[in-house]
Amino acid sequence: MRHKFLRSFLVVALLASNAFAQQPARTINSAPDAERLRAHVTYLASDKLDGRRTGTVGAEAAAQYIAEEFKRLGLRPVVRQSNAPSQGKEGKSGATFSAYAQAFPYVAGVELGEGNAMSFSLRASDTAAGAKPASLDLRLREDWMPLGFSGNGRVDKAPVVFVGYGIKAGELNHDDYAGGDVTNRVAAAFAGTPDGDNPHGKFALYGDLRLKAAAARGAGAKAFVIIATEDIFKEDKLARLAYDNAGGDAGLPVIVVSRQFAAQASGRSLTELREFEKEMRAGAAAPRFTPDATLSIAVNVMRVERPAHNVVGILEGSDPQLKNEAIIIGAHYDHLGRGGQGSLAARAGEIHHGADDNASGTAALLELARLFVEERGKLRRSVIFIAFGGEEEGLLGSNFYVNNPAMPLAQTVAMVNMDMIGRLKEDRLLIGGTGTAPEWKAWIARANADPDIRMVVAMNGAEGKTANANGSGVEVPAVVGANGQMMATTSLRGRFALTLNEDGFGPSDHSSFYAKKIPVLFFFTGTHEDYHKPSDTAEKINYEGTTRVVSFVREIVRDVQASERRPTYALARSQSAGRATGFRVYLGTVPNYAETTDGMKLDAVRDDSPAAKAGLRAGDVIVKLAGRDVRNVYDYTSALAEMKAGEEYDVDVMRDGQRLMMKLTPAARK
């Protein structure tokens, strides 16, 4: 029986080689191991790592784990270990981590400093003879709280102006600031939008508190006050001091006040305040506070910096010349911790395990490192493996790396990114960046056209069955037994049902590299109901499917290695300008989302876009747009909301220490 099986297998191999003779021979090495992938994901997505939020102990443990794996595989660290500092860690493992870790600046949270205070004054009407000024000192944490992105500062007895929901939306012909001057005053608004809790309402985009604060500052307000949503102040999510790294501070004090105080300040009961808000949602005009109402506010919020790291390991190429070029394979290892910013869970506090997002990509990164180490002698170019931190916070780690690379970016020939590749279903695989180099599509097609050979062996009269890994497809009988049963088939359909997206920009770390004009590919098996929720757990990963994605990525990287010439950078067709984003204008800028208070830096400018035609370039810092000062991305977005297609606007940028003034005409978003 053994000899008959062996002869049959040789016939299958011969037939397959004839049928696909046009395809170059491939080197056979170890296959990706589903159990290794399972072990990596199980650890990274475990409760022990507490969701891997950047700047936390769990994220550091994940980075340590990756560094140890890199060392075990023999990858070269970015820092020579003989002189590597311990960075506060002890022993051999600390030296290992320090050698492979690339630290980048990260603000993990905020704390209240000294001197936070707030008081309210209401002077009685002059017609009330003998009336005395009324005043109220508000209690921190019970009546009010600064928000995490609040600017620090002091406001003394500034008049209060109520501005409804604090929304300015030119394209919706909605302006809560119309008819009321807030210059050098305090703007006060309800949280939320006129749409209530509807996430698909027309105002959904404008409910973002940073956008509201930017609108208030743009209108000239000295401070911005938000009225809490919950009747019990301590139960309101805004009363819990929290911080995200998107955009830096607001540039003016931003605070939340209790509904009890809001009712008292407006001369209403809680019930009346509730009814008033219902009327506002129904379209009633927002009455202004009496000009005799004033607030004094002092805010002191301190940023807390914590360690954050990329983990970088280098596999040096074997070619004396080409080893000075590098292919980067990357995946982010951070996730959302216990929820909060970015979470889609109903409430914060539960561990967001992040098995698919992105323990799956990180596990694949480690498995590819193992596989390529086994064939290191055949790799002509160097391969740099990078596990990025801070992706969920705005591509912080990858953005830092491209400005502080382990090998000069001019010698980086391509970047391959894996993010959420653990839920393969019906063979559907999305690949982004296919237009960033003309070579990509041919290499992708070649990798996807590998024949699928399977054996069906009859033993003791019972047919042995195997599932076609590719699903339904055209199957050609390759070996037929004496009893007429098919023993092996060759599937002529591709490995995957591919969706190709040409654009090199996207919501993951490859975007940072494409902004530097490096060809990129992005692999993704699709979103699902567990996305950004605690339920994204390790047992839901399709590990066999992930091995297939790993094999696919390996074949493409091999083709890059085999090519005498590096992939040719190309300007990819934009597939983002047509997507609905809530704004009707398109500029073609790619903002940098790192914290800033002195303007919004551009990571890239799309060629032939309105921004490019105006003369803007990557690296420019926009400091003024359409008459508005710009400190961060939210000021920029707030200005964008007021712009109209076809109209010319002024834009001021800082470039190489000089302030340049340009004219920009937005295009209509299709």
Q: Which pLDDT band holds residue 608 (cuts at 50, 70, 90)? A: confident
- Look at 218-232, 409-423, 470-484 and tell me which has the smallest mean pLDDT: 470-484
pLDDT higher than 90, residue 522: yes
Higher pLDDT: 532 or 2? It is 532
pLDDT higher than 90, residue 416: yes
pLDDT of residue 592: 74
Q: What is the pLDDT of residues 150-175, one digit of tens each?
A: 999 999 999 999 999 999 887 778 88
pLDDT of residue 408: 94
Top CATH class, 585-668 = mainly beta
- Look at 346-360, 478-492, 547-561 and tell me which has the smallest mean pLDDT: 478-492
Instruction: Provide the 8-state DSSP code for 157.
Output: E
Homologous superfamily of the 36-106+309-449+499-562 domain (CATH) = Zn peptidases (3.40.630.10)
Q: What is the pLDDT of residues 84-114, one digit of tens each?
A: 334 444 455 677 888 999 999 998 889 999 9
Please state the φ and ψ torsions of residue 194, each to the nearest 5 degrees: -60, -15
Please state the φ and ψ torsions of residue 478, each to the nearest 5 degrees: -110, -35
Q: For the chain, how are helix, strand and coil distributed in percent, rounded to 5?
A: 30, 25, 45
Say how far apart CA 379 and CA 373 lie, in whole Å. Answer: 9
Q: What is the pLDDT of residues 429-476, one digit of tens each?
A: 999 999 999 999 999 999 998 654 444 443 333 333 333 333 334 444
Query: Percent of the chain, pLDDT > 90?
Result: 56
pLDDT of residue 573: 76
- Alpha helices (H) along 282-329: none
Question: Could you state, in order of their start, the residue ranges of all structural domains in the chain?
Answer: 36-106+309-449+499-562, 111-304, 451-493, 585-668
Cis peptide before 358 (omega within 30 of 0): yes
Q: Measure Cα distances from 239 to 143, 196, 227, 229, 639 in Å.
A: 9, 20, 11, 10, 28
Q: Which pLDDT band holds residue 284 (cuts at 50, 70, 90)? A: low
Q: Which of 196, 189, 160 is nearest to 175 (CA)?
A: 189
| 376: Cα separation from own chain's centroid | 32
pLDDT higher than 50, residue 8: no
Strand segments, DSSP code E, in 422-565 are 428-432, 452-455, 458-459, 462-463, 475-480, 486-491, 497-501, 520-524
Strand segments, DSSP code E, in 492-544 are 497-501, 520-524
Burial class of residue 238 in the structure, from the number of CB atoms within 10 Å of its CB (0-12 exposed, 13-18 middle, 19+ buried): buried
pLDDT higher than 90, residue 489: no
pTM of the model: 0.75
Query: What is the residue-averaged pLDDT of the chain?
Result: 83
- Look at 10-14, 160-164, 660-664 and tell me which has the smallest mean pLDDT: 10-14
Say how far apart CA 56 and CA 117 lie, in whole Å. Answer: 30
pLDDT of residue 4: 36
The alpha carbon dihedral of 190, 192, 193, 194 has a sign of negative
- Look at 5-14, 261-270, 344-353, 627-636 and tell me which has the smallest mean pLDDT: 5-14
Q: Which pLDDT band holds residue 580 (cuts at 50, 70, 90)? A: very low
pLDDT of residue 15: 36
Higher pLDDT: 401 or 78? It is 401
Say how far apart CA 30 and CA 28 lie, in whole Å. Answer: 7
Say how far apart CA 182 and CA 180 lie, in whole Å. Answer: 6
Burial class of residue 388 in the structure, from the number of CB atoms within 10 Å of its CB (0-12 exposed, 13-18 middle, 19+ buried): buried
Q: Do domains 111-304 and 585-668 have the same CATH topology?
A: no
DSSP string of 94-109?
Answer: HHHHHHHEEE---EEE
| 155: Cα separation from own chain's centroid | 36
pLDDT higher than 90, residue 413: yes
- Name the 3-class secondary structure at 666: coil
| CATH code for the part of the protein at 111-304 | 3.50.30.30
pLDDT of residue 593: 65
Q: Which two tokens stand for residue 156?
A: 């003394």
pLDDT higher than 90, residue 188: yes
- Name the 3-class secondary structure at 136: strand
Say how far apart CA 359 and CA 382 lie, in whole Å. Answer: 24
Over residues 58-63, mean pLDDT:
97
Torsion angle, alpha carbons of 581, 661, 629, 201, to 10: -10
Over residues 342-359, mean pLDDT:
91
Q: What is the pLDDT of residues 366-398, one digit of tens each?
A: 999 999 999 999 999 999 999 999 999 889 999
Say how far apart CA 26 and CA 34 lie, in whole Å. Answer: 22
Strand segments, DSSP code E, in 507-646 are 520-524, 585-586, 589-591, 600-605, 621-625, 628-629
pLDDT of residue 88: 43
Say how far apart CA 483 and CA 461 lie, in whole Å. Answer: 10
Over residues 210-238, mean pLDDT:
92
Q: Which pLDDT band holds residue 13 (cuts at 50, 70, 90)? A: very low
pLDDT of residue 457: 40
Instruction: Provide the 8-state DSSP code for 270.
Output: H
CB 351 within 8 A of CB 296: no
pLDDT of residue 583: 63
Name beta bridge partners: 477: 489
